[in-house]
Amino acid sequence: MRLVGVLPNPELATTFGQYLQSLGIAARVDEAHQQPSLWEIWVRDEDQVARSKNELDRFVANPRASEFVAVPGAATKPVNPYEPPQVTRVRFNSAADTGHHPIVTLGLILMCVVVAFAIPFEAKDDYETHRQRNLHDQLLYEPAYIGVPLHLVPEPFSAIRAGQLWRLFTPSLMHGFWTHLIMNMMMLFAYGTVIEKRDGSLTMLLLCLFLAAFSNTAQYSVGVFWDRPFPSYFLGMSGVVFGLFGYAWIRTFYARPNDAWDRLVTSQQVYFMLIYGLVCVTGILGPVANGAHFGGMFAGMLWAWLGAMYQKQAARKKVALK
């Protein structure tokens, strides 16, 4: 089968497929895998590709022409017995069908576990406390400057401006205690595998880097705005997890029927995450990085929404019917 072109809706695609059949060209119509708003026209024989493309150009120029709309005999018996033109939807409802393995998700979990063992949650003596603090200072958004006189503390974002860009991401790798780590890793695995298996490892990697940088910057900015003594003293993957949830939520919202994202995130999951985020704001659960939570969720939703708008715009530009 050879791809001839695409059309923006199933009615036009079916009409053109019937027209090709009337010309003796074996053709079929499928919904596009990556862009569900488009419909692909396929022909069986290589030697019919050039002619089919020429006919498609004519069809796009005037799809309402009588020669295309009233195709003799197309509704009753196709000229070519290969296959009647029909619209088929491709189902990718199971994550395994996409062929992607969650290597980025598992890699992030492994990195968080390694950091947890490298920087123990509880220090046994003063030496261990000093060592732990030094390691934290290398990975926090900005050094904590504990014990440093206020007038000697550098301006906010000084370490980032100095080129220590790893600090945008590394706070997400650290956790405060085992329960914190385990809960975040469970949620990371749940949403990370869903996203990575459907959208690929590269998208997952770039998305996680963006979410980490955005959520950590949001949390640090909140601390600076409220003039907290140690605005950089926050850690955990929850900002990224909320971002992955926001991304999956919007991807599900814009999914077409039988798409890989169709009805994947349920309303119960949305209610749970939103209620949990609001409970954290109340302070009942103790000190929580609410700026990272809501900043990450906004960033994930924004990424997914921009992707959806880009696909729609690309579809309009790719097929312009007069």
| pLDDT value of position 30 | 78
Tokens in use for 195? Answer: 């996203």
Residues 127, 248 within the same domain? yes
CB atoms within 10 A of CB 302: 16
CATH number of 271's domain: 1.20.1540.10
Q: How many domains does the chain have?
A: 2
Q: Which of 90, 120, 146 is the last residue of a domain?
A: 90
Residues 135, 249 within the same domain? yes
Q: Which of 53, 70, 90 is the last residue of a domain?
A: 90
Residues 16, 105 within the same domain? no
| pLDDT value of position 306 | 94
Residues in the chain: 322
Q: What is the pLDDT of residues 2-16, one digit of tens each?
A: 788 888 878 888 888
Q: What is the pLDDT of residues 209-267, one digit of tens each?
A: 999 999 999 999 999 999 888 899 999 999 999 999 999 999 999 887 666 787 789 99
Instruction: Report helix angle 238-253 to 201-225, nearest 10.
Output: 120
| pLDDT value of position 141 | 97
Residues 67, 114 within the same domain? no
Nearest CA-CA partner of 146 in 128, 129, 123: 129
Structural domain containing residue 77: 2-90
CA separation for the pair 320, 52 (Å, rounded): 18
CATH number of 26's domain: 3.30.70.2350
| Regions of the chain short of the pLDDT cut 50 | 73-98, 319-322
Residues 108, 74 within the same domain? no
Residues 145, 245 within the same domain? yes
Collapsed DSSP state (helix, strand, coil) of residue 88: strand
Are 59 and 16 in contact by the 8 Å Cβ rule? The answer is yes
Residue 108 is assigned to a structural domain of this protein: yes
**Pairing outcome for strands 2-7 and 87-88:** unpaired
Residues 226, 116 within the same domain? yes
Are 28 and 1 in contact by the 8 Å Cβ rule? The answer is yes
Residues 202, 307 within the same domain? yes
Collapsed DSSP state (helix, strand, coil) of residue 157: coil
